[in-house]
Structure 1
Amino acid sequence: MRSRIVNPKRRQTRLRSARLALAALAALIAAGDHADAIERRGERAVESIEQRTAGEPIMAIVSLQSQRITVYDANGWILRAPVSSGQRGRETPAGIFSVIQKEAEHYSNLYDDAFMPHMQRITWSGIALHGGPLPGYPASHGCVRMPFDFAERLFDATQLGLRVIVAPSDVAPVEIVHPVLALSNPGAGALAAIRTAEAAEATRKADQAKLAAGTAFRLAAQAMAPVRVAENLKLRAEVQLATAEAALGSAVSAEAKERAERDKAQATAKVGELQAQLAAAKAELQPKLDVVTSAREAAAIAETARAAAAEAARQVARELEPVSVLISRKTQRLYVRQAFEPILESPVTILDAD
């Protein structure tokens, strides 16, 4: 007969173990649910404009307070996504930056080769936008992490020079209309396309001219071979003629003089024959040399035209780059840059600076 008496202490121990096991299981389930919630929240938080066709991105604003990036084209916002910026002690610096380097597959040289997919660098000290995990709070070493799919999408859409503003709080661009502000040139894009096409055509012509010059030189080199052969044979015949003349001058007997006269006559005839061959070879070569000269001159002219067209295309392309204007309250100066190059700097007076 089995006893039903249970030790109260053992019963309390079993109940305590059961409670701990249930608590641990609940914690794991909650953690999993929390992670899934964060992932779902990140997926839902990625937004894109649907009321119109998105244009080329020209600006991205990262709000450190909201942990969100908003991307703008010329007509307004087009993309939004959550981010994770720098953790405490390694905060992402606020300021106005530009994308200065892009690399689809990048590994950190500062933090144990950490994978930074679709990296878009905004400072040479290591701050960049890239794909990464989003725990829902600032957790990076200073970079701006974005959802992986969003980082790839943004990487494919942007170009070097994209303006990136990192702001402590939520900010948004404001349209300003004023008669003294610089106006955009609506025909600049079409002109850039024309200059690009002209540069491509000039490059094609320069390549053709260079090829023609090379072909002309090869044909002239082939025609030069008979000239060199004739020159060498004529030189050898002239040596024989000089030998015959020397023998004739030193001959004493009639027989020796007759033999020397015969050798001289043969050598003279040979020199005359080879001189005629040489003249014919040179006559055939000269037109080919003239073609080489003309082809090289044409190639030089085409190369000059190519360089000029390429520079014109680059100049128009630079004019399409965004112009950045900064007015510094601290220095009381205005700074204007285009394509990372300073183009104007001037002192200013700020009314009601406070």
Structure 2
Amino acid sequence: MVSRFALTASFVALLLSPASGLAGSRGPLQIIVSKDQQSLVVYDGDAVIATSPVSTGKAGHTTPSGIFSILEKRRHHKSNIYSNAPMPFMQRLTWSGIALHGSNHVPDYPASHGCVRLPSAFAASLFKMTDRGVHVLISDRQMTPVEVKSALLFRPAPIEIEPPLSDVPLRPAISQAADGPVEVAMRQPDGATGATRSMEEPIRILITRSDLRDDMREVQASLEVLGYAPGTVDGHSGPATVAALRAFQASEGLESDGKLTLELTDRLLRKAGRTPPQNGKLLVRQGFKPLFEAGLTIDNPDEALGTHFLQFRHNEEAGAEGKWFGVTLENHLPSSTKKRLGISTEADPFAYNGIQRTLARLTIADDVRKQVEQLLSEGSSLSIADTDSGLETGPGTDFITITRPRPAG
């Protein structure tokens, strides 16, 4: 285990260094917390900016592992769960109560009720370094970002003198499904007439597997195209959707039982002129809000994708394409989840070039790639996971991915 003295000395040295970045970094930061080492490291790309000891959650109050980002910052905060306990320099990671915060009691072992405790002086310095949206990765082991090269990774789109709106319809995010197809507009600088990269907040991209809800939404969209009024296109089979399915079955001379089968799905989509849903999907958020999603294809779907996180660094002044820096998180899926997803081979989080191998299994349509690259900017991120982001992802969050430890024994 890395000694507490070494971590504290490292932080002090970095704090005194002119290049430490504590007064403001030139690039997007990411924070990695190791529960095994009880340490926190701040990275700018693959360069260490600062380190500190921490104290994570004790037994019965374990700090969740996974991919998070800072949702809220408060200089003065008190816990609304634990008797108004002071949580100075609080930086919230989930709306369910997990945060980074300062404390006068940071022992060299897990001791909190789930939050990540920081020494008071470091908490104050870190608070000055970060903005809302800075990613925080929490893992059992220490991880170090490394540059990742792959033809699949997005690159900034060249500035084009074209109309700013795409004519490529993309699926809206689930919360926007009732609003119809989404077209992504590119923000223009004052006086400009052509498309350019978005000047809004960095986008957050999640690549994951499609599920039954995605299939049902395709069915509902097909029923709507054919005029059968399935209700809201939300992926849930409500009474209106069942009634629409029965009406379609009757029109096709089939038994009108409202039960959806693979054969019925195929017939319905073909009748509506729609292609079968793909086995993967790409979702995009910006400014803590869903933006759009689209399908993609995953090769060898019986193999787990694993859980990976990448962040984009781009220096437009230098005219470079930019770099992606990534890490792989250990994540052990329950047997029931693997069975539901058809996974027979688990991912090895320690495999050489594991991120590149996963990326090589993905196929993304050119029109979808173009839409993403028009929005790509400094600090944009890409998460890859076998399961969707779960209950923690919602209003006012980026994609939050919770990882699971290896079962005991």
**TM-score range normalised by the length of the shorter chain:** 0.3 to 0.5
Largest Rg, 1 or 2: 1
Structure number with greater CO (CA < 8 Å, separation at least 6) is 2
Give TM-score scaled by structure 1 length.
Answer: 0.48
Higher strand residue share: 2
Higher helix residue share: 1
